[in-house]
Amino acid sequence: MSFAKKIEIIGVPSDLGANMRGANMGPAALRIADLKEKVEIQGYEVIDSGDLHVPVRDSLDPKIQDEKFLQPLVKICDELATRTYQSVKENRFPLVIGGDHSIAIGSISGVANHFRDHDQSIGVIWVDAHADINTPDSSPSGNIHGMPLATLLGNGHPELTRIGGEGAKINPKNVALIGIRTIDDHEKMQLKESGIHYYTMRDIDEKGMFHIMQEAIKHVSEGTSGIHVSFDIDGIDPRYAPGVSTPVSGGITFREAHLILEMAYESGKMSSLDFVELNPYTDVGAQSANLTVDLILSALGKSIV
């Protein structure tokens, strides 16, 4: 399996893409939950590359706040793209821990850029309660963590779409969005027109997660050389993962979440991974942080037997 690789943990302690604060503490909570040690027990060599520099929200000029932190987010995503690019190039497996979901613009752009150097592309499995496909024009809030998927498809702030090279980083036919259950009105149209494969909670109820993941892996694998999984913790039902910034009930169960990652691992094509939107400030004890670490282990091949 492609998994003789070294795992490189890259922390991105940013909540600048969100209105609700606290996702900036995500990387610290995952480290305290023994992320590195537990991945090592799985038999991997693990390098913790520490956290990217993220400015303190309150230290920033009010004008920057009014612009929804676009400029600092451009810097963060640019740096993260360089880091994930380098990581994959050096035959490591980047495990990016957030941070709100805006950071996926950086992580995926970097990985896609590496594959493009070899005339290859990646597919993306995006787990989320939301579609994250708003654009600056459609978004009611303007918060950038509602826009990363649109940005990666080439529709976003130009300063963000040019990260890791101009234009779209992923082909919509190689994107599977799983777990969605709350979509803004304008966003519904964008979702339908986008050409991505999406699976709502209703679809999961009807078909079951096993069937949906089989289908999703098929779509994201077609013509691609790697799969990036971008896992938003708010995709999971808040009963299991209360520690998020934007909880929405009726979500993915504990077992369904593990199944997604077990099957992503078994595809043998996973190149890179983000876990985002863990918010220790709203967590109940360390419940969601511990669950996130366990999910990461499933993504890295831990099985029941």
The C-alpha torsion from 113 through 103 and 157 to 111, rounded to 10°, is 10
Counting residues that bind Mn ion (by CB under 5 A) gives 4
Whole-number minimum distance, CB 132 to Mn ion, in Å?
A: 4
In the residue annotation, 132 being an active-site residue is answered as yes
DSSP string covering 163-174, please?
A: TTSSS-SS-GGG
Residue 128, interface with Mn ion (CB under 5 A)? yes
Residue 283, interface with Mn ion (CB under 5 A)? no
Contact criterion met (CB below 8 Å) for 212 and 204: yes
Residue 237, interface with Mn ion (CB under 5 A)? no
In this structure, the number of other CB atoms found within 10 A of the CB of residue 166 comes to 10
In the residue annotation, 145 being an active-site residue is answered as yes
Residue 244 one-letter amino acid: V
Place of tokens 């956290």: 51
**Which residue in the set 101, 114, 169, 258 belongs to the binding site for Mn ion (CB under 5 A)?**
101
Residue 132, interface with Mn ion (CB under 5 A)? yes
Q: Which of 128, 262 has the CB closer to Mn ion?
A: 128
Where in 216-235 is the site for Mn ion (CB under 5 A)?
232
Q: At what angle do helices 287-299 and 254-266 cross, to 10 degrees?
A: 30
**Which of these segments, 121-129, 163-171, 175-183, 288-296, binds Mn ion (CB under 5 A)?**
121-129
Cα 214 to Cα 295: distance, rounded to the nearest angstrom:
19
Whole-number minimum distance, CB 173 to Mn ion, in Å?
A: 21
Q: Give residues in contact with Mn ion (CB under 5 A).
A: 101, 128, 132, 232
Catalytic residue numbers, as ranges: 101, 128, 130, 132, 145, 232, 234, 277
